[in-house]
Amino acid sequence: MIDGVVAIVGRPNVGKSSLFNRIMGERISIVHETPGVTRDRIYGKTTWLTKELRFIDTGGIQVEGQTFGEEIEMQVEIAIEEADIIVFVVSAPEGITHDDEYVARLLRKTNKPVVVVANKMDDHQFISDIYEFYGLGFDEPMAVSCEHGIGIGDLLDKITTKLPEKGLNTYDEELKFCVIGQPNVGKSSLVNAIINQDRVIVSDIEGTTRDAIDTPFKFEGDDYVIIDTAGIRKRGKVYEKVEKYSVLRAMSAIERSDVVLFVIDGEAGIRQQDKTVAGFAHEAGKPIIIVYNKWDTIDKEETEMETVRKKIYEEFIYLTYAPIVFVSALTKKRVHTLIPLINLVFENSTRRIGTSVVNEVVQDAVMFTPPPSHNGKRLRVYYSSQVSTAPPTFVLFVNDPELCHFSYKRYLENSLRNAFDFTGTPIHIIVRKRVNV
């Protein structure tokens, strides 16, 4: 659960993206082992002092055809809408500029906590220059150097002290699932079909849903909450002021959900942006169901479903664990199968396996297919255990984690899947070096 959302704002060339990348550290530069997962650098998550924070790099949003002032104002609007705390970045060598004053005036209207960060403070002999920034009208400014990593820890400390108290989740007991996908794939129609009433506006115009809408409902006596999200566009197409939050809200919806319904437009087929959308949910470790919508509009025989299913898994190699449902939100065909499947993948994501059983499955897998040797060394798995659920996470204690190749880790994952029903949920395997006591 995210403890706070932090927006980084300021005029261009003050180091907003440098600060964002410095805070993300190695996390942002990791090359993901799974093919097909596209990362969007507009946001990032990190943990500091047990607090999980999402940072928004507003410098990553570029709007073609807008004037400079409008672009700055749009960044501040994002902060107003999404952030719990605003980090206002200025350039220490340049001092306060007219543009800084313009941003400050906008931020003072937000009633959000604002932390002024004077970047490019690379030389401590100029530390006294920081006092100029009191003139912006906020609390004590902080001196940092994004280039050298100076002051970043102190900044994160200050951010955590300013985190607002989070209210209790209104829907703590209900099973929550969100509906994500590109604009105009039929998400709102699917929501209406599931709850069997027109609670969400449905339109052929792309982008009708511009917020995340929570709708509680009952099904066979059980309580659920369905979250409809705005369609996720390519960054170059996020240009309308009312749509600029869609990606961020979809991310929030994914994080608040127990299960994710990823909707593909059957008429349009699989598009490149679909991989980005699905990648968000996959990286969040959420159970996923792929919903292939508008099946009624396609002239397909039942036998051809397998052809489409194979094509989907070829395009989404990292989602082969996710079940695929072919539905028509318009005619409600097969929509009735979704809730039972949502229950199933949720149960699978929360399944916990006893340590002795996990050890037996892993050791049998290692004996059946021993790890390949590397430079005369071979991986040895001494002990295995499940350490958490949602997603199921397993720790393998080994002689040398570097000897565990990604392909072998995937083999062990498949062995666990063959032994236990983890349909619909990702599995995390962590390899650690055994420490002799």
- If we measure between CA atoms, which residue out of 162, 106, 97 comes closest to residue 135? 97
d(CA 174, CA 95): 51
Flag whether 30 is marked binding. no
Flag whether 207 is marked binding. no
Contact 385, 395 (CB under 8 A): yes
Give the model's pLDDT for residue 303. 56
Higher pLDDT, 375 or 322: 322
Flag whether 354 is marked binding. no
Flag whether 17 is marked binding. yes
Flag whether 400 is marked binding. no
Dihedral sign computed on CA atoms, order 150, 151, 153, 159: negative
- 318 with 224, same domain? yes
Flag whether 61 is marked binding. yes
322: in domain: yes
Q: Where are the alpha helices (DSSP H) in 168-304?
A: 187-195, 246-256, 272-283
170: in domain: no
- 336 with 194, same domain? yes
33: in domain: yes
Flag whether 69 is marked binding. no
Average pLDDT (44-52) is 85
Higher pLDDT, 162 or 297: 162
Q: Where are the beta strands (DSSP E) in 278-335?
A: 288-293, 324-326
d(CA 59, CA 15): 9
Flag whether 181 is marked binding. yes
Contact 204, 218 (CB under 8 A): no
31-35, 81-85, 190-194, 363-367: least confidently modelled range: 31-35
- 103 with 223, same domain? no
d(CA 204, CA 232): 16
The strand pair at 114-119 and 85-91 is best described as: parallel
Flag whether 16 is marked binding. yes
Flag whether 359 is marked binding. no
- 365 with 340, same domain? no
Banded model confidence at residue 32, pLDDT cuts 50, 70, 90 = very low
CA–CA distance from 146 to each of 15, 89, 129, 226 (Å)? 7, 11, 17, 41
Flag whether 115 is marked binding. no
Contact 287, 346 (CB under 8 A): yes
Burial profile 192-203: b = 16 or more Cβ within 10 angstroms, e = fewer: bbbbeeeebebe
DSSP SS3 for 248? helix
Flag whether 145 is marked binding. no
Flag whether 12 is marked binding. yes
Flag whether 48 is marked binding. no
316: in domain: yes
CATH number at residue 80: 3.40.50.300
- 344 with 410, same domain? no
CATH number at residue 392: 3.30.300.20
Flag whether 222 is marked binding. no
pLDDT averaged over the chain?
Answer: 81
Last residue of one domain, picked from the residues 317, 349, 381: 349
Average pLDDT (285-294) is 95
Residue 172: CB atoms within 10 Å: 7
Flag whether 237 is marked binding. no
167: in domain: no
Last residue of one domain, picked from the residues 161, 190, 225: 161
The number of folded domains in the chain is: 3
The strand pair at 175-180 and 259-265 is best described as: parallel
- 211 with 316, same domain? yes
d(CA 366, CA 386): 17
Last residue of one domain, picked from the residues 130, 161, 192: 161
Flag whether 158 is marked binding. no
Flag whether 296 is marked binding. yes
- 194 with 243, same domain? yes
Flag whether 258 is marked binding. no
Average pLDDT (138-162) is 92
Flag whether 60 is marked binding. yes
- 288 with 336, same domain? yes
Contacts of 376 (CB under 8 A, 6+ apart): none
- Reply yes or no on whether the pLDDT at 40 is more than 70: no
- 21 with 145, same domain? yes
Higher pLDDT, 166 or 319: 319
166: in domain: no
Higher pLDDT, 300 or 223: 223
- 90 with 143, same domain? yes
Flag whether 119 is marked binding. yes
Q: Which span out of 103-117, 197-211, 344-358 was modeled with the highest average pLDDT?
A: 344-358
Give the model's pLDDT for residue 183. 78
Flag whether 14 is marked binding. yes
Residue 369's domain spans which residues? Answer: 355-433
**Residue 17, CB-side half-sphere exposure with 13 Å CA sphere:** 9
- For residue range 379-399, what is the model confidence (pLDDT) as tens digits? 999 999 999 999 999 999 999
The two three-digit tokens of residue 422, written as one number: 């983890």
- 373 with 310, same domain? no
Helix H or strand E encompassing 43: strand 43-48
Flag whether 84 is marked binding. no
Give the model's pLDDT for residue 126. 63
Contact 193, 295 (CB under 8 A): no
- 339 with 268, same domain? yes
Flag whether 415 is marked binding. no
Flag whether 80 is marked binding. no
Flag whether 120 is marked binding. yes
292: in domain: yes
- Reply yes or no on whether the pLDDT at 331 is more than 70: yes
The two three-digit tokens of residue 108, written as one number: 């003072």
Flag whether 121 is marked binding. yes
169: in domain: no
Helix, strand, coil in percent for the chain, rounding step 5:
40, 20, 40
Flag whether 59 is marked binding. yes
Give the model's pLDDT for residue 290. 97
